[in-house]
Structure 1
Amino acid sequence: MCPQSDAIFPQFKTYDRALRAAGARITRGVSYRVMLEAWAEWAEQLAISPGKQAELVMRAWIESGRFALDLPRAMANEADKRAVKPTEDRRFSSPEWTKWPFNTFAKLHMMSEDWWLEATRHVPGVAQRTQGEMEFLMRQAADMWSPANIPWLNPTILSKTAQSGGVSLLRGMQNWWEDLGRELSGEPPAGAEAFVIGENIVTAPGKVVMRNDLMELIQYAPDTETVFAEPVLIVPAWIMKYYIFDLSPEASLVRWLVARGHTVFIISWKNPSHRDRDVSLDDYRLGGVMAALDAVELILPERKIHACGYCLGGTILAIAAATMAREHDERLASVTLLAAQTDFADAGDLLLFLDERQVALLEDLMWDQGYLDTQQMSAAFNALRSNELIWSKMLKTYILGEREPMTALGAWNSDQTRMPARMHSEYLRGLFLENRLSAGRFAVEGRVIALHDIRVPIFLLATARDHIAPWRSVYKLSLFTDTELTFVLTSGGHNVGIINPPDAGIGSYQIETRQPGQRYTDPESWAAAAMPRDGSWWHAWQRWLASHSKPARVPPPSMGAVGKGLVPLADAPGTYVLTS
């Protein structure tokens, strides 16, 4: 009988894993094998589909004929809608693109882009997932080779370069050299140094009232003579630092809530290192959400708590709330989920390349490092909006020599955190790959939990242009709960849509409440029926919090609970937020 080789020669398995981890470092955790296999499947099936080939040939002939008929008008710069295809594409929004020969460059590119995208669709024998992967890859290629991204074909670049006498190119080279040096030395992007935590950002007064190995709990100082009885606990995502909720004084959701009489607590997550490789997803529930609830209860005994979670923090809050409902823990007054998914079947383009092979590659990388690094995460997120976050930014900064001013939100976005190896693996497998939470297969402490058990009111918010948590995916929570649920769809993206101070006078939102027992409404019907409202959703949420609180206001609580062991440890923003 041959013994198992793993038991006798584990070093060989370790060697293979180390080799795969080294390759993953080079590709920043992206499995290019997935892309190659998608391309191979599509090319093979297209090669044996003569009907689809004939359709593409006919489409090419028709579009070429239309282009030839429109060419004289384009050469004459006539304002004819057929000369340049009407589009909302920001790549060709400049007036220069309507003039010869650039109007033909734009027209040819959009024709080619449409043709290649059609080539990826409805190919017999190609799996739906592969079709989605190929469409994503074609869009990436189209963005890369767009004439808007080729300096000598872009009229705006040519004009500004000529006007500056080539000085813009020199400034662009200086910008590139500076950014390269900053990246190699691990420094933040240019301009971020102007935003200093505790000085001009993250300045809301408060105290760290509890600290453990996973997080610090910050209690904010009151700003009114009386407050609502029920406090608000905010659970941020630990993929980023918490202070998106306390940016500049003008864009601080924390300050805004405190000024309206809410007692606010927030979790500041620790930035993990290789020593935290074995921290689990459930550790974030226990050492994060539950530990914070216990501390708030000590400070404000016999008070129900409004719990709010953002992004991944919202997902773990939903898990915690369902577990509390199972255990008859009734400390929550309500649950607010901001851009947080509980069902991952329609998680957008991020899900396309997240299969078993990709997760295995990330696991090898995290096994070697103990965590997933910030650059390895940002590469994937940037690819979802490559035209906005990569190509147009590169052209503006390195060709035109125009560096966009750094903002408080931009400085926060560059101050990223790592993800512990075990937690991230459990998150990707249990939620993204297997979608256990909404399927009724997610176990906490050995027993399955159900979102349907949550009985407290829910305020569920999604953003219209979210590429990380698509709004239709967020909306699906309404399928798995039967409590009062207020759904809000706000303008903006994953971050900008959340931080929308009312004084800015921008943005819009739609809001409707579904009562228990009410029939399900699909997302398209909901969006068509819900009346658009101008302004920030912050007012709507604050009114909702007030309506689900006791009407009588009470004196503000003390900072911490000294007699119960919760002695204030430091001033806000604490120490964990400062670690890089």
Structure 2
Amino acid sequence: MRERPVTNPAPTPAVFINAQNAITGLRGRDLLTTLRSVAAHGLRNPMHTARHALALGGQLGRVLLGETVHEPNPNDVRFIDPTWKLNPLYRRSLQAYLSWQKQTRHWIDDSSLNADDRARAHFAFSLLNDAVSPSNTLLNPLAVKELLNSGGNSVVRGVSNLFDDLLHNNGLPRQVSKHAFEVGKTVATTPGSVVFRNELLELIQYKPMSEKQYAKPLLIVPPQINKYYIFDLSPANSFVQYALKNGLQTFMVSWRNPDVRHREWGLSTYVAALEEALNVCRAITGAREVNLMGACAGGLTIAALQGHLQAKRQLRRISSASYLVSLLDSQIDSPATLFADEQTLEAAKRRSYQQGVLDGRDMAKVFAWMRPNDLIWNYWINNYLLGKEPPAFDILYWNNDNTRLPAALHGDLLDFFKHNPLSHPGGLEVCGTPIDLQKVTVDSFSVAGINDHITPWDAVYRSTQLLGGERRFVLSNSGHVQSILNPPGNPKANYVENPKLSSDPRAWYYDANHVEGSWWPQWLEWIQQRCGVQRETLTALGNQNYPPMEAAPGTYVHVR
């Protein structure tokens, strides 16, 4: 362990996308309105526009003379091919593109637009500038080389891929082959059985993988927005198997994929269903207390459950709570959230109630268009310009296994981001009980990701401050999903930790220690201290009242 130099600034959370954007949606007309207001400002301030146009013209003149005016970002893989530097025509096209990008940013920064309008303008122009990148055309040197090497077959394959995606993938480039994996065969393969089912969830109990096991079980609660098997992709990165091999009795919630019949399922409905599953865990294991783990929206659900149990004076059922990239404090400041006004929120509610659900494909589309270089143009080049199949990547397969949200829960989440109810006692009511997280005195372990674009790390940090009890916070070096899938042995894994939780996340980071390796062993040591005594492993699953049903991964995970 070594101390991070104090000269390193705290990382800035990703600014253009977060969980609120996917829940609220982003209307094209809002972006068009922003572009129109920018154009109108340019017409009202011709001298300002002319000054920047002349500056751009001067840079383009230098580019035509062969000067290298700008250096591309070394991390920008779009221009990693040496042709962009060595070929005079390609070098000039790249330099012209970079000059345009830089000058549009300066034009917006120097304008008299207010701060919010400037932020919206930067966001809209970032989408536009990414779309017009010279790497997105058939003149991309990678595409030209593939065209010559394949004798023109790359174009034929690319056109075929394009038409297939237009018909079957919402018009977006496919990120992974739909036949690359199979749930229960190549992913979600850890042995276990469904031991309980209600209308909203299946409860999976996994077969032990250790000679001894701890008395208090672990109940993992995934987000309702995704399938559960992010925790069990493959043996190499399976969090479930890591827990089992280290003596933890492990249970998993598999949420049902709702349809229009379930439009009235709200947060209270999910909390009540989760309380049933909690009691089943206690009944099967004979333990009075259960360790909870929630990821993303699953973290919000376990927090609401604990607040509900505390209000009923039954919090003693919970031994500890682990929160993975979970927002309890929903205040997020980013340019994209500037589009989420009252009208947008109400329109989003109205649409989902009319349809009965918020379709996961709609959320995926928002996420894709708000990280276009990574999630659209990268695959545009691979699938269409190069005519290749997308890579077989288990995380992307899981990410594209979309689920729906019932309209009532969608409305609850919109209200959560609008009102930030957990930031004050009684702001949120669940199952008829007001929630006060400060009274939830359960020990907690929270994990955030430095590069997380969905639940920014500083908001996750502030969420930790809302909880009572002994709190621990770890900042992983990854993004939203990779922060969770961070097994020991990963050479890129490291995290930041500071046991002193100050009120300011930047101050916390300033004094934190940088630790090489995965946070999983640190969490394991922490959770084992809260799992009770060890005993001989019981190999049988379920009990007389809750006998094993279908083998894992169950039936709900297969519902499309």
One fold, TM greater than 0.5?
Answer: yes
Q: Distance in 2 between matches of 1:512 and 1:202?
A: 34
Alignment of 1:168-187 (within 5 A): 168-183=154-169
Match of 1:353 in 2: 339
Match of 1:433 in 2: 418
Please give the secondary structure, in 2, of the residue aligned with 1:291. Answer: helix
Match of 1:395 in 2: 381
Quickly say closer, same or farther: Cα 1:64–1:85, change in 2 above 3 A. farther
Q: Is 2:532 aligned against 1:545?
A: no
Q: Distance in 1 between matches of 2:278 and 2:334?
A: 32
Please give the secondary structure, in 1, of the residue aligned with 2:214. Answer: coil
Q: By how many angstroms is 1:287 displaced?
A: 1.0
Asked if the contact 1:208/1:568 (under 8 Å) is kept, the reply is yes
Match of 1:531 among 513, 532, 535: 513
Q: By how many angstroms is 1:273 displaced?
A: 0.9
Q: Distance in 1 between matches of 2:56 and 2:343?
A: 39
Match of 1:574 in 2: 554
- After superposition, what is the alpha-carbon deviation per residue over 1:13-43, rounded to whole angstroms, capped at 9, x for unaligned? xxxxxxxxxxxxxxx9653333344344445
Match of 1:133 in 2: 120
Please give the secondary structure, in 2, of the residue aligned with 1:268. Answer: strand
Asked if the contact 1:42/1:123 (under 8 Å) is kept, the reply is no
Alignment of 1:180-579 (within 5 A): 180-183=166-169, 191-288=177-274, 290-328=275-313, 329-346=315-332, 348=334, 351-428=337-414, 430-440=415-425, 441-514=427-500, 519-520=502-503, 522-550=504-532, 552-557=533-538, 559=540, 561-563=542-544, 565-579=545-559
Quickly say closer, same or farther: Cα 1:543–1:281, change in 2 above 3 A. same
Alignment of 1:136-147 (within 5 A): 136-147=123-134
Match of 2:95 in 1: 107
Please give the secondary structure, in 1, of the residue aligned with 2:151. Answer: coil
Please give the secondary structure, in 1, of the residue aligned with 2:499. Answer: strand
Letter in 1 for 2:269: D
Asked if the contact 2:476/2:519 (under 8 Å) is kept, the reply is yes
Q: Distance in 2 between matches of 1:455 and 1:506?
A: 34
Quickly say closer, same or farther: Cα 1:83–1:417, change in 2 above 3 A. closer
Q: Distance in 2 between matches of 1:376 and 1:86?
A: 31
Q: Is 2:33 aligned against 1:34?
A: no
Q: Distance in 2 between matches of 1:366 and 1:83?
A: 46
Q: By how many angstroms is 1:47 displaced?
A: 5.1
Quickly say closer, same or farther: Cα 1:503–1:114, change in 2 above 3 A. same
Quickly say closer, same or farther: Cα 1:350–1:507, change in 2 above 3 A. farther
- After superposition, what is the alpha-carbon deviation per residue over 1:509-531, rounded to whole angstroms, capped at 9, x for unaligned? 222323xxx643x2233334333
Q: Distance in 2 between matches of 1:122 and 1:482?
A: 46
Q: By how many angstroms is 1:143 displaced?
A: 0.4
Please give the secondary structure, in 1, of the residue aligned with 2:536. Answer: coil
Q: Distance in 1 between matches of 2:389 and 2:179?
A: 15
Q: Distance in 1 between matches of 2:72 and 2:25?
A: 38
Q: By how many angstroms is 1:162 displaced?
A: 3.0
Match of 1:151 among 138, 141, 146: 138
Q: Distance in 2 between matches of 1:337 and 1:468?
A: 15
Match of 2:14 in 1: none
Letter in 1 for 2:28: Y
Please, which moves more after superposition, 442-451 or 35-44? 35-44
Q: By how many angstroms is 1:118 displaced?
A: 3.4
Quickly say closer, same or farther: Cα 1:272–1:219, change in 2 above 3 A. same
Q: Distance in 1 between matches of 2:133 and 2:93?
A: 9
Letter in 2 for 1:543: E
Match of 1:97 among 81, 84, 102: 84
Please, which moves more after superposition, 190-199 or 166-175? 190-199
Please give the secondary structure, in 2, of the residue aligned with 1:387. Answer: helix
Higher helix fraction (1 or 2) = 1
Please give the secondary structure, in 2, of the residue aligned with 1:566. Answer: coil
Q: Distance in 2 between matches of 1:510 and 1:266?
A: 28
Q: By how many angstroms is 1:234 displaced?
A: 0.5
Aligned length: 533
Please give the secondary structure, in 1, of the residue aligned with 2:498. Answer: strand
Please list every run of 5 or more consecutive structure 1 residues that lacks an aligned counterpart in the other structure.
1-27, 75-79
Letter in 2 for 1:304: E
Asked which structure has the greater CA Rg, the reply is 1
Q: State the superposition RMSD in angstroms.
A: 2.8
Asked if the contact 1:325/1:453 (under 8 Å) is kept, the reply is yes
Asked if the contact 2:195/2:546 (under 8 Å) is kept, the reply is yes
Quickly say closer, same or farther: Cα 1:44–1:409, change in 2 above 3 A. same
- After superposition, what is the alpha-carbon deviation per residue over 1:175-221, rounded to whole angstroms, capped at 9, x for unaligned? 224444544899x9863324222222211111211110000111111
Q: Distance in 2 between matches of 1:388 and 1:185?
A: 16
Q: Distance in 2 between matches of 1:241 and 1:83?
A: 44
Match of 1:116 in 2: 104
Please give the secondary structure, in 2, of the residue aligned with 1:249. Answer: coil
Quickly say closer, same or farther: Cα 1:557–1:356, change in 2 above 3 A. farther
Quickly say closer, same or farther: Cα 1:250–1:65, change in 2 above 3 A. same
Match of 1:9 in 2: none
Asked if the contact 2:329/2:466 (under 8 Å) is kept, the reply is no
Q: By how many angstroms is 1:283 displaced?
A: 0.6
Quickly say closer, same or farther: Cα 1:483–1:382, change in 2 above 3 A. same
Match of 1:11 in 2: none
Quickly say closer, same or farther: Cα 1:276–1:122, change in 2 above 3 A. farther
Quickly say closer, same or farther: Cα 1:29–1:456, change in 2 above 3 A. closer
Asked if the contact 1:29/1:361 (under 8 Å) is kept, the reply is no
Letter in 1 for 2:543: V
Q: By how many angstroms is 1:450 displaced?
A: 2.1
TM-score by length of 1: 0.84
Quickly say closer, same or farther: Cα 1:172–1:523, change in 2 above 3 A. same
Q: By how many angstroms is 1:104 displaced?
A: 2.5
Asked if the contact 2:272/2:431 (under 8 Å) is kept, the reply is no
Quickly say closer, same or farther: Cα 1:349–1:196, change in 2 above 3 A. farther
Please, which moves more after superposition, 90-99 or 462-471? 90-99
- Percent of aligned pairs with the same residue? 30
Q: Distance in 2 between matches of 1:439 and 1:255?
A: 38
Asked if the contact 2:130/2:373 (under 8 Å) is kept, the reply is yes
Q: Distance in 2 between matches of 1:62 and 1:123?
A: 15
Quickly say closer, same or farther: Cα 1:121–1:559, change in 2 above 3 A. farther
